[in-house]
Amino acid sequence: MSVPIYKRLYVQVFAAIIVGVVLGAIAPERAAQMRPLGDGFIKLVKMLIAPIVFATVAVGIARMGAIRDVGRIGLRAFLYFEIVSTIALVCGLAVVAVWKPGNGLRIDANTLDLKSIAQYTSGGAKLGAVDFLLNVIPNTVVDAFARGEILQVLCVAVLFGLALLRLGPRARALVGVLQQVSDALFEIVGMVMWLAPIGSFGAMAFTVGRYGVASLIPLAKLVSGVYLTCALFVIVVLGLIVRLAGLRIFALLRYIQDEIFIVLGTASSESVLPSLMEKLELLGCPKPVVGLVVPTGYSFNLDGTSIYMTMAVMFMAQVSGVHLSFWQELSILAILLLTSKGAAAVTGSGFITLAATLTAVPTIPIFGLALLLGVDRFLSSARAITNLIGNAIAALVVARWDGQLDVDLLRRNLAMARSPERVIPSFAIPDPTVQTHVQT
């Protein structure tokens, strides 16, 4: 039975975003008061991320053939992350060198509110490889879940999964219980996702009402450049990678269109982490691969963030009148390869990473961060959407690389997702014929 277009989640989310923008433009003060709607939706999803990641990863590892399989998939995932993240950084550097968004705009440090960036510069000064590695290890098992740090939960989940794998048949009952817990959590996600239009409306209304569309005008060239670069990266670079894996990028984008629109409205890729993992499993990607690659990718495979950071650093150099040589640009690229990983689990990571990078590159004034603060909320949607798409593709590519992806089944599922009469999202009322086929 055909689903009316107004009942499709992505249509409802898109309409809510439009209404939020209109309200922010005509009634900024009232729109700014809508922030709790967006924050509440994101908090609802975030409270589920830690237990879902734990259950999914632990069960996936426990059902693997051997411990060496875990290491093999993890190694391939990290190799893929590093290669693609480096390409993203280079793309950002190349575009900003040609686009030159900072040319013609000069800033005076005396006219900027430097207090607004103090929390980020202080965090950036303390950011280092040792701090990052220690932050991966939770103080206690409970603390990892209480803080909701993905990397810490992942650390506990991998160790727990390896223990279950070593116990073998003796842990079979516990693995079954964890699987049931995971299923129940995904059902909760399905219910929460119906609130996505309300959350998207609240987040977008607050953004436009608080910062105003006018705040985009002085920095419109940078904002448009980041969006353009992210779009080209997804279509060209990730499209080529997906093509080499035997798939088509636009078919995959249509399949996860609900998640893309939710991220557009909320500017948070974490808001769709549980539903993305479930959709990839329904698509035919093995649970162990999804459980390891996607949560890890949310910390190490940040393609959109990599593009943004390169362009932001170069933009601040341009508006400050600092000319960088080719070798200086390469050194910034090398620094970003490190600092982008160092801020993986830190709140406000985008700005803290920029602060850490600028601290290591003293030729670029750090006060330029205050100029970006007003438009960062608009840029975060582009970063988050690119990160989302990049991690979905990473799971599929690693699964194909490991020989665990049934490409024919995946193509059939994507074909059904394109059809108006075949709607697979977990939070929609399932069509029994589709459900049976997907789970074959």
Query: 83: exposed, middle or buried (C-beta count within 10 Å: 0-12, 13-18, 19+)?
Result: exposed
d(CA 137, CA 148): 13
pLDDT single digits (tens) 219-240: 788 889 999 999 999 999 999 9
Single-letter amino acid, residue 212 = G
Q: What is the pLDDT of residue 316?
A: 82
Single-letter amino acid, residue 368 = G
pLDDT single digits (tens) 8-65: 787 888 898 889 889 988 888 888 888 889 888 888 888 888 888 888 888 878 877 6
Helices 118-125 & 349-360, crossing angle to 10 degrees? Answer: 60
User: Per the structure block, which two tokens stand in for 125?
Assistant: 């000064």
pLDDT single digits (tens) 280-290: 988 888 888 88
- 8 Å CB contact between 283 and 361: no
d(CA 356, CA 56): 33
- 8 Å CB contact between 369 and 316: yes
H or E stretch at 60: helix 35-62
Instruction: Tell me which DSSP letter residue 431 carries.
Output: P
For 20, 199, 369, the CA distances from 212, given in Å and listed in that order, are: 12, 19, 19
pLDDT at 436 over 70: no
pLDDT at 279 over 60: yes
pLDDT single digits (tens) 400-415: 988 888 888 888 878 7
| pTM: predicted TM-score of the whole model, two decimal places | 0.74
Q: What is the pLDDT of residue 116?
A: 47
Q: Which residue has the higher pLDDT, 364 or 307?
A: 307
pLDDT single digits (tens) 96-123: 888 888 776 655 544 444 444 444 444 4
- 8 Å CB contact between 371 and 319: yes
Single-letter amino acid, residue 329 = E
Q: What is the pLDDT of residue 359?
A: 66
- Structural domains in the chain, CATH included, are 5-438 (1.10.3860.10)
pLDDT at 215 over 70: no
